[in-house]
Amino acid sequence: MPEITLVGTGGMMPLKYRWLTSCYIEHNGSAVLIDCGEGTQIALAQAECKISRINVLLITHTHADHVSGLPGFLLSLGNSERTEPLDIYVPYGKTKIIKNLMCICDRLDFDVRIHELSTKDESSFIAETIDPMLEVRSLPLRHSCDCLGYSLTFRRKQVFLPDEAKRLDVPLEKWKILHRGESVLLDDGRTITPDMVTQNSRRPIKITYVTDTLPFAAISEFAYGSQLFICEGMYGDRDKKKSMNHKGHMLMQDACRLAQNAQAEQLWLTHYSPAEFYPENYSKELKKLFENIVISKDGQKTEIKD
C-alpha cells in the first residue's frame, strides 16, 4: 500500500526550519515525487525517502519554490547510478522551462521524458513505471500562473475466490491469469471470465494534492472520496483572505471546507507562508471545520491501508 511522506511544508522560500512543499509517495519499491523546490533533495534524505526509487515527477507549476531544486535532484539521481528513464509531468507549454533549468545537468546517464498536461481540462494517465493500476489525474487550478492539482488513484486487484474456482473446476495454473484480469479457455471448451472467480471488495486508494490555488468547488469534486487530501493553507489568519485572493492562494479554513465537501477522510495542510510561524496555533479552530485535520510538519508520513 502506498506510503506517503510530506517532505516539506513551506511556501515561497526555503527556511532554516521548514523545507519547501513536496510530497513523496512510494508504492511497491517505486515512487512518485510531487514538486521539487530548492533543498527538496536534502529534505528527502532527511525524511529517509529514497530518491533512487522515484520514477515519476509531477510538477504543479513552474514557480521557483516548486521547481528550483530540479537540476540538483536530477544530478543526484544520476549519481545514484540510475539508467531507467524518469518521467516528468508539467503544465502545458512548460517543457522549455524544465529544459532551461537542465542546462546545468550535462552528465545524466538516463533519459528525462517530459510530458505536458492540459491547463484547460482535467486529464489522466496511467503511471506504468510505478504500477499499471495507478491512475494519475490532473486538474487545472487558479493561480497566478498555470498550475495543476494531482490525484493518484491506486486501483487494486480483485479478491480471488478459490472456492468458486474449485467449484468451476478451474485448474490451479489458470488462477493467476484470472486474478490479473484475463479470461481463460478451458480444455473442455468453457470460457471462464475473471468476474466469475473474483470479487471487487477492495476499494481504490486515492490521494489528492492541491497547491497553489484559490479555493473553488471543482477542487472538492476532484478530491472526492480521497483517503488523504493534501492541500495548501498559507495562513490561518482570516484577515489575510483578501491578500490570498489577490495572490491566488487560500487560507487554512478554505482547505477545511474543500476537504469537508470532498468527504475526504483526512486533510493534511501544507505550503505555509514563511510569515506563518506557528500554523499549529489554529488547530482548535480548524478542527471545528474539519475534524480529521493534520497541521502537517516536514517529514510527516503515513501508510494508507485498507
Residues that bind a second copy (CB under 8 A): 12-16, 37-39, 41-42, 45-46, 62-65, 67-69, 71-72, 75-76, 79, 96-97, 100-101, 103-105
Q: Side-chain half-sphere of 236: how many Cα atoms within 13 Å?
A: 16
Catalytic (active site) residue 306 = no
CB of 42 to a second copy, least distance (A): 5
Of residues 30 and 68, the one with the C-beta less far from a second copy: 68
Of residues 64 and 217, the one with the C-beta less far from a second copy: 64
CB of 57 to a second copy, least distance (A): 16
CB of 238 to a second copy, least distance (A): 24
CB of 70 to a second copy, least distance (A): 9
Of residues 140 and 299, the one with the C-beta less far from a second copy: 299
How many CB atoms are closer than 10 A to CB 66? Answer: 25
Annotated catalytic residue within 35, 65, 87, 212: 65
Of residues 79 and 124, the one with the C-beta less far from a second copy: 79
Of residues 7 and 219, the one with the C-beta less far from a second copy: 7
CB of 19 to a second copy, least distance (A): 9
List of residues 6+ apart from 137 with CB closer than 8 A:
122, 123, 124, 150, 151, 153, 222
Could you list the active site residues?
65
